[in-house]
Structure 1
Amino acid sequence: MNKKGSAAKVKLNSFDDLFGSSEMQTAGAEQIINAPLAELHDFKNHPFRVVDDEKMEETTESIRQYGVLVPGIARPRTGGGYELIAGHRRKRGSQRAGKLEMPVIVRNYSDDEATIIMVDSNIQREDILPSEKAKAYKMKYEAMKHQGKKSGKNTLDEVGETAGESAKTVQRYIWISRLSDSLLDMVDAKKIGIMQAVDLSFLSEDAQQWVLVAIQETNVVITTQQSAMLKESDKKGELTFPMVRMMLEKEKTVERKVVIKTERINNYFPATYSREEIENIIYQLLENWKSTQ
């Protein structure tokens, strides 16, 4: 199914909509300007990392040679300057390349419109961490509700459509956004799985702290069975720190499966013996062997 992302629905449907016709620019409805980097302020609670990695080095080199080819998107900021909606990596690349300004499209977007554009312009990147996706989906979901969207599966589908993710997946990430930053760091580091993180997101702040301490002290890897037990116990109001330690330190039983081939068994028992008789004799022999160990 070919769906347009929700950011595209926020007045970004044509070339003139994106870059602005000369008539609109003249009328002051929007502007394309070369904004000083010092006047471009990060989007409030921007959930996506801007790191100086190999990809940033490539971005920097491209900007050094050719400049910023695609303008960022910004809006006027109370107190002066502009709030950058899309283009945080381009801004950082410009700084590293020694530039003093970069091109941006300036528009008077509402808070909700700006949030949706900010999320959709970043959510399709390949290197997004679970914590980034969780916070971004929550921000977009809240923005859509403010716009009058009803809560429910259809809204969750719209939240995830830009990245091609289902309502169920989006809901899981929104739940995960309730985890403490320290537990989210563990999810990013793959020390806690996504499904386990969903269960832990239902724990109280105190219970989440207990889980964090227990993991740090024991280096345990939480199973889905353990996370479900923690969630259920906390829901009943029964969970304590000693209980968390007990649940997470409980020794896992290793399932062992032994197959004895029929042709080998038949060498030791007459054909008249039943299966039950054979099993009883084997168990008795094993008991005798165990007693001699």
Structure 2
Amino acid sequence: MAEFYDNSIFWVEVDKIRPNPYQPRKEFDEDKISNLADSIRQYGVLQPLVVTRHEVEKEEGGLSVDYELIAGERRLRASKTAGLSQVPVIIRTVEEGDKVKLELAIIENLQREDLNPIDRAKAFKQLASEFNLKHKEIGKKIGKSREYVTNSVRLLTMPEDIQDALAGGKITEGHARPIMMLVDKPEEQRTLYKEIVHNKLTVREAEAIARRIAVERSRKKELRLKPEIIELEKEFTEQLGTRVLIQPRQVGGKLTIEFFNEEDLRSILEKINTNPETEASGFIGKVASIVNRKEEEESEKKEKPVDDRPEEEIEKLEDEEDIYSLKNFSV
């Protein structure tokens, strides 16, 4: 009977198909579901859904049959929207338990559905954690290389807001690669992400920035920049909304402000140009407050001179000072 199921297509009522509890796709675009429903109305369901069959014996006798979806939830939703009462299905026989069903559900979806990069990465991670599968084995199951699986899973190392942007199509998987080059620096990842979105950078432009950031990181290690200089760079970057580098020298130093285009340059200029009457609240005032704060912090860190005289000598001198102190005399 299993072979009969596996090689045949059946038509079943949509109301008898239960959702897949192991669905790797977490979000469904309603506009795409609507477009797919229009296509189904015109051409029908071209690719059968994949389900498992469940039989339950009724108290009054006979069998109650329903189905659990393994792959094809988009098609099922669109079919319901299109008003179909039945859909074509392929029945898979799963006798080994839920874990096998989970593996089958994920692999079927990876092979058949256009999962977004983050849902795909989570599916790969689930296969690895639930079944102890190596990336090479996962790749073999879906016809991909080990590197493809590994690079997909690495997407999950990005901050969640950037993962959401990738899943939602705000950036491409190509843009995610240079962001992952800064994996141990989430703040720099977010800065690069904002630059990609705001300035509509190409993948090559994003990669160039990521490499430059990596070079600057190594520069800081080599030059051993003081923490206060690194903090100033960060403050400048936040105030101007673009990358700022400080290069101290024996006398003075060099301040580099990066920009992407003329519009970006004008925006930076507007932030720097401050009305003298309101400069305390403008960019110059903010920079001055940053520098002053750093100087105050440095002065507070300075320790009092250490008195290395013997304790007995110090106590003797303090006693002598008390003897001649005005507080010991009355008028």
RMSD across aligned positions (CA)? 4.8
Shift of 1:88: 0.7
Measured at CA, do residues 72 and 216 of structure 1 come closer, stay the same or move farther in structure 2, by a change above 3 Å? Answer: same
Q: What is the SS of the residue equivalent to 1:84?
A: strand
Matches within 5 A, 1:60-99: 60-62=38-40, 66=44, 70-74=48-52, 83-99=68-84
Q: Which of 156, 161, 168 is equivalent to 2:147? A: 168
Determine the structure 1 residue equivalent to 2:4: 16
Per chain length, whose mean CA-contact separation is higher, i.e. which structure has more relative contact order (CA < 8 Å, sep 6+)?
1
Q: TM-score, normalised by structure 1?
A: 0.52
Partners of 2:111 and 2:142 within 8 A in 1: yes
Measured at CA, do residues 170 and 229 of structure 1 come closer, stay the same or move farther in structure 2, by a change above 3 Å? Answer: farther
Determine the structure 1 residue equivalent to 2:177: 195
Shift of 1:171: 1.0
CA distance in 2 between partners of 1:37 and 1:15 (Å): 25
Q: TM-score, normalised by structure 2?
A: 0.47
Letter in 1 for 2:29: V
CA distance in 1 between partners of 2:235 and 2:98 (Å): 41
CA distance in 1 between partners of 2:34 and 2:216 (Å): 41
CA distance in 1 between partners of 2:217 and 2:84 (Å): 51
Q: Which of 19, 42, 46 is equivalent to 2:24? A: 46
Matches within 5 A, 1:111-260: 111-124=98-111, 127-145=114-132, 149=133, 155-187=134-166, 188-190=169-171, 193-200=175-182, 202-203=183-184, 208=186, 211-212=189-190, 215-216=193-194, 219=198, 222=206, 223-225=209-211, 228=214, 243=234, 246=237, 249-250=243-244, 251-252=257-258
Matches within 5 A, 1:256-267: none
Partners of 2:124 and 2:149 within 8 A in 1: yes
Letter in 2 for 1:16: F
CA distance in 2 between partners of 1:215 and 1:174 (Å): 19
In terms of fraction of residues, the more helix-rich structure is 2
Q: What is the SS of the residue equivalent to 2:180?
A: helix
Measured at CA, do residues 170 and 215 of structure 1 come closer, stay the same or move farther in structure 2, by a change above 3 Å? Answer: closer
Larger radius of gyration: 2
CA distance in 1 between partners of 2:11 and 2:243 (Å): 59
Measured at CA, do residues 230 and 242 of structure 1 come closer, stay the same or move farther in structure 2, by a change above 3 Å? Answer: same
In terms of fraction of residues, the more strand-rich structure is 2
Partners of 2:51 and 2:69 within 8 A in 1: yes
1:209-241 Cα distance to aligned partner (Å, 9 max, x none)? 7844785499466533266579999xxxx9989
Q: What is the SS of the residue equivalent to 1:73?
A: strand
Aligned residues: 213
Q: What is the SS of the residue equivalent to 1:72?
A: strand
Deviates more, 1:215-224 or 1:182-191: 215-224
CA distance in 2 between partners of 1:51 and 1:42 (Å): 17
Shift of 1:16: 3.4
Shift of 1:85: 1.6
Determine the structure 2 residue equivalent to 1:37: 15
Q: What is the SS of the residue equivalent to 1:193?
A: helix
Letter in 2 for 1:189: K
Shift of 1:129: 2.8
Letter in 2 for 1:249: R
Partners of 2:107 and 2:141 within 8 A in 1: yes
